Amino acid sequence: AIFAAMPPGMVPPCARALWAFMMVRADTRASAWELADTLGLPVLLVVQPGGASVTLAAQIQGLMNFRKNSHVSGILLNDCSEKLYKMLKALLERETGLPVLGYLPHLPDAALESRHLGLKTAGEIADLQQKISRMADALVVDWEKLSILTEGAAPLVHTDRLLLRELPPQGAEEQRPRVPIAVARDAAFCFTYAETLEALERAGAELCWFSPLQDPALPEQIGGLYLPGGYPELYAKTLSENKTMLASIRQAVQAGLPTAAE
């Protein structure tokens, strides 16, 4: 937003390139809405009221009407006092026609810290389970209404709309040779989803963990390389000083090693 407000001559070239990339890719692909639409799932919209009241209803109406089928079926208020919840519940239900199913009060002792690219990862929060338990104990929800909202037969998945090939059934991976795949995992490369790793294993991969920060080279005899997301920019000095690892990855990629790098 800051770059967008600058005269073109003042915007750094790297920022102009980033802004152009964001403008090209700013769409609903892989969004929460597309997931709900693809799977036919009801959406419980979590909103943080702050100091808004009627404006909040306008924002929710915008989300409900932005797409022909928003799938928004209920509202949950986050970081909201009981008094404000009772006031907003009547207002929002009247203005949007959606049920307000509950709220999570302000819990400073359960806050999850964030940084420039989002929340800190689970592995970095020593008392994560205690924070989650604190939130679970404080959450106020009309479970009966929530159950009604989400009950029913499993939706039909339109497989022709999915961009993933069907994976083999679980257990089938034990019946064929496995391909070693090197997967980076350390403080710099820490954004991995369990589903991604499970999909690799079901497709026949043997996951070989390594640390670009600490290890001298890639694991031997690998058939692929996966560098997940994370915070490599915070460890640029250490990564750049690990010359043997840099050389190992460069040589492997130049030799044609299949590589996915976020």
Reduced to 3 states (helix: H, G, I; strand: E, B; else coil), residue 34 is: helix
What is the rounded CA–CA span in Å between residue 257 and residue 224? 6
Q: Which residue has the higher pLDDT, 163 or 7?
A: 163
Does the pLDDT value for residue 237 go beyond 70?
yes
Q: What is the mean pLDDT of the chain?
A: 84
Which strand (E) or helix (H) includes residue 71? none
The pLDDT > 90 percentage for the chain reads: 63
Which pLDDT belongs to residue 111? 87
Does the pLDDT value for residue 20 go beyond 70?
no
Which pLDDT belongs to residue 177? 83
Taking the CB of residue 155, how many other CB atoms lie within 10 A of it?
Answer: 12
Which pLDDT belongs to residue 172? 56
What is the rounded CA–CA span in Å between residue 220 and residue 237? 25
Residue 162 banded pLDDT, cuts 50, 70, 90: very low
Phi-psi category of 121—alpha, beta or left, where left has phi over 0 and alpha has psi -120 to 50?
A: beta
Mean local confidence (pLDDT), 138-158: 80
Q: Residue 170 has what DSSP assignment?
A: T
| Residue 101 contacts residue 107 (beta carbons within 8 Å) | no
Mean local confidence (pLDDT), 215-231: 96
Mean local confidence (pLDDT), 84-102: 96
Q: Where do we find the tokens 């302000």?
A: 106
Q: At 142, which amino acid appears?
A: D
Mean local confidence (pLDDT), 122-138: 90
Q: Which of 69, 231, 239, 83 is nearest to 155 (CA)?
A: 69
Which pLDDT belongs to residue 150? 83
| 31 token code pair | 């969004």
Does the pLDDT value for residue 22 go beyond 80?
no
Which strand (E) or helix (H) includes residue 239? helix 236-241
Q: Where do we find the tokens 């997940």?
A: 228
Does the pLDDT value for residue 48 go beyond 60?
yes
Phi, psi angle pair for 167, to nearest 5°? -85, 155
Tell me the pLDDT tens digit for each residue of 177-207.
899 999 999 999 998 989 999 999 999 999 9
Mean local confidence (pLDDT), 81-105: 96
Q: Which of 176, 196, 172 is nearest to 185 (CA)?
A: 196
Buried b or exposed e, range 26-52, using 16+ CB within 10 angstroms? eeeeeeebeebbeeeeebbbebebeee
Which pLDDT belongs to residue 212? 98
Which strand (E) or helix (H) includes residue 234? none
| CA atoms within a 13 Å half-sphere pointing along the CA-CB vector of 113 | 9
Which pLDDT belongs to residue 25? 54
Phi-psi category of 59—alpha, beta or left, where left has phi over 0 and alpha has psi -120 to 50?
A: alpha
Q: Where do we find the tokens 């403080």?
A: 187
- Please tell me whether the overall predicted TM-score, pTM, comes out greater than 0.75 for this model: no
Which pLDDT belongs to residue 28? 86
Q: At 106, which amino acid appears?
A: H
